[in-house]
Amino acid sequence: MHSPVAHAAAATHPTTVAASEGRMEQFVYDDAIVRKFVLATIVWGIVAMLAGVFIAVQLAWPAANLGLEWTSFGRLRPLHTNAAIFAFAGNAIFAAIYYSTQRLCKARMWSDRLSNLHFWGWQAIIVSAALTLPFGITQSKEYAELEWPIDLAIAVVWVGFFATNFFMTLKHRRERHMYVALWFYIATIVTVAILHVFNNLTLPLAVAQFVSSGTWPSGADLMKSWPVYAGVQDAFMQWWYGHNAVAFFLTTPFLGLMYYFLPKAAERPVYSYRLSIVHFWSLVFIYIWAGPHHLHYTALPQWASTLGMIFSVMLWMPSWGGGINGLLTLRGAWNKVTADPVLKFFVVGITFYMMATFEGPMLSIKSVNALSHYTDWTIAHVHSGALGWNGFMTFGMLYWLFPRLFQTEIWSRKLVSAHFWLSTVGILLYVLAIYAAGITQGLMWRAFDEFGSLKWPEFIETVTVLMPMYWIRVLGGLLYVTGIVMCGINAFMTWRNRPAKYAEVVHSAPALSAVYVDPPPPPSMLTSNTDWGKAVETKVLSGWFHRVWERKPFKFTVFTVIAVLVASLFEIVPTFLIRSNVPTIASVQPYTPLELLGRDIYIAEGCYNCHSQMIRPMWAERKRYGEYSKPGEFVYDRPFQWGSRRIGPDLAREGGRQSHDWHVRHFENPQAVIPQSIMPSYAHLLRQTIDFDAIQHRVNAMAMLGVPYGKAVREGQAVELAMQQAREINEQLESQGDYRGLHDKKIIALVAYMQRLGTDLTRPPPAPDEPAASP
Amino acid sequence: MSELMSAMQLTTFPIVALVLFLLAFAAVLARIFRAGSRAEMDRHATLPLDEPIPPTSTQHTRSH
Confidence of residue A741 (pLDDT cuts 50, 70, 90): very high
Strand-pair partners of A505 = B58
Scanning every residue of chain A, which has its alpha carbon at the shortest distance from the alpha carbon of B6?
A: A578
Per-position DSSP letters for A375-420, written without gaps between them: SHHHHHHHHIIIIIIIIHHHHHHHHHHHHHHHTS--S-HHHHHHHH
- φ/ψ of A763, rounded to 5, equals -85, 150
Scanning every residue of chain A, which has its alpha carbon at the shortest distance from the alpha carbon of B63?
A: A501
Comparing A650 with A515, the larger pLDDT belongs to A650
* d(C-alpha A82, C-alpha A80), whole Å: 6
Angle at Cα A599 formed by Cα A66 and Cα A708, nearest 5°? 170
Confidence of residue B54 (pLDDT cuts 50, 70, 90): low
Give the mean pLDDT of A26-36: 97
- Establish if B55 belongs to a structural domain: no
Tens digit of each residue's pLDDT (9 = 90 or more) over A594-640: 999 999 999 999 999 999 999 999 999 999 999 999 999 999 999 99
Q: Please indicate whether, in this complex, the C-beta atoms of A522 and B41 are within 8 angstroms of each other.
A: no
Residue of B9, B31, B38, B58 for testing the chain A interface, max A β-carbons within 10 Å: B31
- Establish if B52 belongs to a structural domain: no
The predicted structure's pLDDT at residue A9: 39
R_g over Cα of chain A: 28
Cβ-count burial A338-376 (b if 16+ within 10 Å, e if not): eebbbbbbbbbbbbbbbbbbebbbebbbeebbbbbbbbb
Q: Please indicate whether, in this complex, the C-beta atoms of A5 and B58 are within 8 angstroms of each other.
A: no
Is the model's pLDDT at A326 over the cut of 50?
yes
Strand-pair partners of A202 = A227
Q: Please indicate whether, in this complex, the C-beta atoms of B13 and A307 are within 8 angstroms of each other.
A: yes
Comparing A546 with A96, the larger pLDDT belongs to A96
On whether the pTM is more than 0.90, the answer is yes
Is the model's pLDDT at B1 over the cut of 90?
no
Give the mean pLDDT of A466-475: 98
Any idea where the domains of chain A sit in the sequence? 31-496, 593-762
Give the mean pLDDT of A424-443: 97
* d(C-alpha B53, C-alpha A77), whole Å: 49
Per-position DSSP letters for A575-594, written without gaps between them: HHH-GGGS---TT--PPPHH
CA distances from B50 to A3, A503, A512, A568, A764 (A): 9, 21, 16, 39, 73
The predicted structure's pLDDT at residue A7: 39
A741: left (phi over 0), alpha (psi -120 to 50) or beta: left
Confidence of residue B6 (pLDDT cuts 50, 70, 90): low
CATH code for the domain defined by A31-496: 1.20.210.10
One-letter amino acid for residue A683 of the chain: A
Neighbours of A656 (CB within 10 A): 13
Tens digit of each residue's pLDDT (9 = 90 or more) over A608-617: 999 999 999 9
Is the model's pLDDT at A761 over the cut of 50?
yes
Cβ-count burial A688-725 (b if 16+ within 10 Å, e if not): eebebebbbbbbbbbbbbebebeebbeeebbbebbbeb
The predicted structure's pLDDT at residue A417: 97
* d(C-alpha A108, C-alpha A100), whole Å: 11
The predicted structure's pLDDT at residue A123: 98
Q: Please indicate whether, in this complex, the C-beta atoms of A563 and B24 are within 8 angstroms of each other.
A: yes
Confidence of residue A389 (pLDDT cuts 50, 70, 90): very high
The B residues from 19 to 58 touching A (CB cutoff 8 Å) are 20-21, 24-25, 27-37, 40-58
Strand-pair partners of A589 = none
Q: Please indicate whether, in this complex, the C-beta atoms of A570 and B36 are within 8 angstroms of each other.
A: no
- Establish if B54 belongs to a structural domain: no
The predicted structure's pLDDT at residue B29: 81
Is the model's pLDDT at A484 over the cut of 90?
yes
Exposed / middle / buried, residue A73 (Cβ in 10 Å: 0-12, 13-18, 19+): buried
Q: Please indicate whether, in this complex, the C-beta atoms of B14 and A310 are within 8 angstroms of each other.
A: yes
The predicted structure's pLDDT at residue A163: 98
The predicted structure's pLDDT at residue A763: 83
Percent of chain A with pLDDT over 90: 81
Tens digit of each residue's pLDDT (9 = 90 or more) over A276-320: 999 998 898 888 889 899 999 998 888 889 989 999 999 999 999
A593-762 placed in CATH 3.30.460.10: no
Is the model's pLDDT at B37 over the cut of 80?
no
Report chain A's mean pLDDT, rounded to a whole number. 92
Is the model's pLDDT at A542 over the cut of 70?
no
* Minimum-distance CB partner of A15 among B14, B50, B51: B50
* Minimum-distance CB partner of B51 among A6, A181, A573: A6
Give the mean pLDDT of A177-198: 96
R_g over Cα of chain B: 25
Do B50 and A6 contact (CB within 8 A), yes or no? yes
The predicted structure's pLDDT at residue A5: 38
Contact pairs from chain A to chain B, CB under 8 Å: 187
Task: Give me the interface pTM, i.e. the ipTM.
Answer: 0.79
Give the mean pLDDT of A706-710: 92
Do A429 and A479 contact (CB within 8 A), yes or no? yes
Q: Please indicate whether, in this complex, the C-beta atoms of B24 and A281 are within 8 angstroms of each other.
A: yes
The predicted structure's pLDDT at residue B2: 57
Neighbours of A216 (CB within 10 A): 13
Angle at Cα A142 formed by Cα A136 and Cα A146, nearest 5°? 50
- Among A103-107, A237-241, A407-411, A526-530, the minimum mean pLDDT is found in A526-530
Give the mean pLDDT of A657-677: 97
Range of the domain at B14: 2-44
Is the model's pLDDT at A166 over the cut of 70?
yes
Helix ranges, A172-272 (H): 180-199, 205-213, 231-249, 252-266
The predicted structure's pLDDT at residue A546: 74
